[in-house]
């Protein structure tokens, strides 16, 4: 949303949310190579996290997979 504002687009949160959900729905239901979760997929609910906290969790998961 901030990026849109910087580019001069006046896009509201609900519109961005709608577009993201619509894109995800299309990606999951497309005929060729649909988006799907794999057995080893990881879901990080970042609703209440800062960007820094999300990055820390991702780094932690990578290090865990690498055996550190």
In tens, the pLDDT along 41-66 reads: 999 999 999 999 999 999 999 999 99
Check if the beta carbon of residue 1 is closer than 8 Å to that of residue 8. no
Dihedral angle sign, alpha carbons of residues 5, 43, 46, 28: positive
What pLDDT, on the 0 to 100 scale, is given for residue 48? Answer: 94
What pLDDT, on the 0 to 100 scale, is given for residue 54? Answer: 96
Check if the beta carbon of residue 19 is closer than 8 Å to that of residue 4. no
Check if the beta carbon of residue 1 is closer than 8 Å to that of residue 11. yes
Alpha carbon distance, N-terminus to C-terminus of the chain: 36
pLDDT digits (tens, 9 = 90+) for 11-43: 788 888 899 999 999 999 999 999 888 998 999
What pLDDT, on the 0 to 100 scale, is given for residue 16? Answer: 85
């Amino acid at each position: 949303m901030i990026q849109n504002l910087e580019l001069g687009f006046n896009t509201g949160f609900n519109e961005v949310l709608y577009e993201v959900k619509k894109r995800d729905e299309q990606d999951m239901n497309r005929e060729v190579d649909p988006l799907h979760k794999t057995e080893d997929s990881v879901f990080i609910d970042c609703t209440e996290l800062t960007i820094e906290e999300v990055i820390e969790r991702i780094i932690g998961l990578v290090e865990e997979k690498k055996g550190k």
